Structure 1
Amino acid sequence: MAQKLVIQAGKTEKEYWRDLWRYRELFYFLAWRDILVRYKQTVVGIAWALLRPLLTMIVFSIVFGRLAKLPSEGVPYPILVFAGMLPWQFFANALTECSNSLINNANLLSKVYFPRLVVPTSAVVVSFVDFLISGMILLGLMAWYNFVPSWRIITLPIFIVIAFMASMGAGLWLAALNVQFRDFRYIVPFIVQFGLYVSPVGFSSEIVPIRWRMLYSLNPMVGVIDGFRWAILGGESRLFWPGFGVSLLLVMGLLLSGIWYFRKMERTFADVI
């Protein structure tokens, strides 16, 4: 007698996370599909991943480095900018991809069961591929300016993980909210644009008066960007550890609350999407 396989949602948190591991092949498929769609048989896709941060870096270097003559922590200003541009672009791309990930896979969500957490997570991974491609520009800048990073570079993976946590946490919130309220597809671009100017991407956060540094660190990306610069630039680059601690706690809170809210709304996605 043939056996019948019944697929259903896990009834406990432990079963849910076990299901998440069981559906890891679906995660690979979704991530690989999006990567192929973006880069296969196209030059523009890969070129855009390089040109967008490169052009932004040039503009910021001219405005803040040449015209405003802001301090560069003892390194060439383009390297300062791009060290901050890398984590910001990763975060911004992840927000955009995650917020639309469930909507773009509506047919899949309404037909079969699988842990919905797979979808936004695969979107963050696709954004991480862009991050790796953009990193080649930073390597090129270092070679151009004969810049050799210090021993701190070995700590960079720690800050990459923190950037991944921030991207994942904010992305889960926006992915779930976008299913419930479609207005968020208009809000996300504003968040990304506004966040670019209130985060220390084109300038060093050291220009912020010390009495405002803790308040400024309430932006979680401040700690992430400062951490990247501290690891990459070395030398005169300093990390405001109290502010970094605040940013790190906010990132962890953002991730945990994002998972909580996503799981809370997950069972309603198929009904309202």
Structure 2
Amino acid sequence: MRELLLAIWRYRYFILSSVKNDLRARFIRSKLGAVWMIIHPLAQVLIFALILSEVLAAKLPGVNSKYAYALYLLGGTLGWALFTETVTKFGNLFIENGNLMRKMAFPRICLPLIAAGTTLVNNLLLLLAIFLVFAALGHFPDEQVLWLPVLILVTLMLAGSIGLLLGVLNVFMRDIGQIIPVVLQALFWMTPIVYSITILPESYRNVFKLNPLYPLITSYQNVLVFGTEPDWSGLGTLAAASLVLTAVALFAFRRASAEMVDVL
């Protein structure tokens, strides 16, 4: 672990410059530039809000706004966007950077850190856009929003550890890359993002609460929309599980690192 941290520190400028170059390369020929990072998730939110708001708006107690459903949807979308983008990016990370890994000598751990930095910047821009939409709708989060950095950290740890494991496996079993979007799509509908869990029958609620993303996404909605504290009991368990999963993912990554280059 000490060697890993030293390698990250020695290559810190390489990591930061790579994040900057990655963001710049994605939109170098685009007139709207970084705006595209937030247009897609916001467009999805708008579509869901227009279609479903009339159905679900009356079932969101605790939100005194006629735009209650749109606010609820935006709150959940922030956490989901960071999770799904991180898992997807990590899942294809080593395959997409195969040539770089073969031709350049650098600590391979830099690649996940660069990917995490890129997704974090994207998510912070989305957060800024969401705050602007909140202001336009007359909703202003209270001091509970200060817990957002904690939620973002837990999300990155969970998604990064899962994504790193999947990324390593994807090098040796390419079917993993095809499975990831299918699983994420199913997980999206099992997580209370476009609906409130209170609309489900009582017998189904406990089943849906077994979803590890439930306390995380609910905590985003709590601090951004309802002005209440995060779900600390669920988050504590999730953070502990994420730490264990991170250790497992790093172990698998270090063991497979040399062999991955040969396979790629």
- TM-score, shorter chain, exceeding 0.5: yes
Query: Aligned to 1:229, which of 221, 240, 264?
Result: 221
Cα distance change on mapping 1:204 and 1:255 into 2, 3 Å: farther
Q: TM-score, normalised by structure 1?
A: 0.84
| Deviation of the 1:26 alpha carbon | 2.2
Give the corresponding residue for 1:66: 54
Query: Aligned to 1:157, which of 149, 156, 171?
Result: 149
5+ unaligned residues in a row in structure 2: which ranges?
Answer: none
Cα distance change on mapping 1:33 and 1:95 into 2, 3 Å: same
Return the alpha-carbon distance in structure 2 between the equivalents of residues 47 and 97 of structure 1: 19
5+ unaligned residues in a row in structure 1: which ranges?
Answer: 1-12
* Superposed counterparts of 1:226-265, under 5 Å: 226-235=218-227, 240-265=231-256
Q: Is 2:12 the counterpart of 1:20?
A: no
| Deviation of the 1:233 alpha carbon | 1.9
Return the alpha-carbon distance in structure 2 between the equivalents of residues 43 and 222 of structure 1: 38
Return the alpha-carbon distance in structure 2 between the equivalents of residues 182 and 45 of structure 1: 32
Query: Can you list the C-alpha shifts for 1:86-133, whole angstroms capped at 9, x where unaligned?
Result: 111111111222122211221221233322111022112111222122
Return the alpha-carbon distance in structure 1 between the equivalents of residues 248 and 39 of structure 2: 34
- The answer (yes or no) to whether the contact 2:41–2:77 under 8 Å persists in 1 is yes
3-state SS of the aligned residue for 1:268? helix
* Superposed counterparts of 1:112-191, under 5 Å: 112-191=104-183
- The answer (yes or no) to whether the contact 1:169–1:258 under 8 Å persists in 2 is yes
Return the alpha-carbon distance in structure 2 between the equivalents of residues 205 and 45 of structure 1: 37
Return the alpha-carbon distance in structure 2 between the equivalents of residues 256 and 204 of structure 1: 34
Return the alpha-carbon distance in structure 1 between the equivalents of residues 47 and 88 of structure 2: 23
Return the alpha-carbon distance in structure 1 between the equivalents of residues 244 and 51 of structure 2: 35
Q: Is the radius of gyration larger for structure 1 or structure 2?
A: 1
Return the alpha-carbon distance in structure 2 between the equivalents of residues 98 and 21 of structure 1: 21
Return the alpha-carbon distance in structure 1 between the equivalents of residues 36 and 127 of structure 2: 13
Q: How many residues align?
A: 260
| Higher relative helix content | 2
Give the corresponding residue for 2:258: 267
3-state SS of the aligned residue for 1:43? coil
- The answer (yes or no) to whether the contact 1:124–1:167 under 8 Å persists in 2 is no
| Deviation of the 1:207 alpha carbon | 4.1
| Deviation of the 1:85 alpha carbon | 0.2
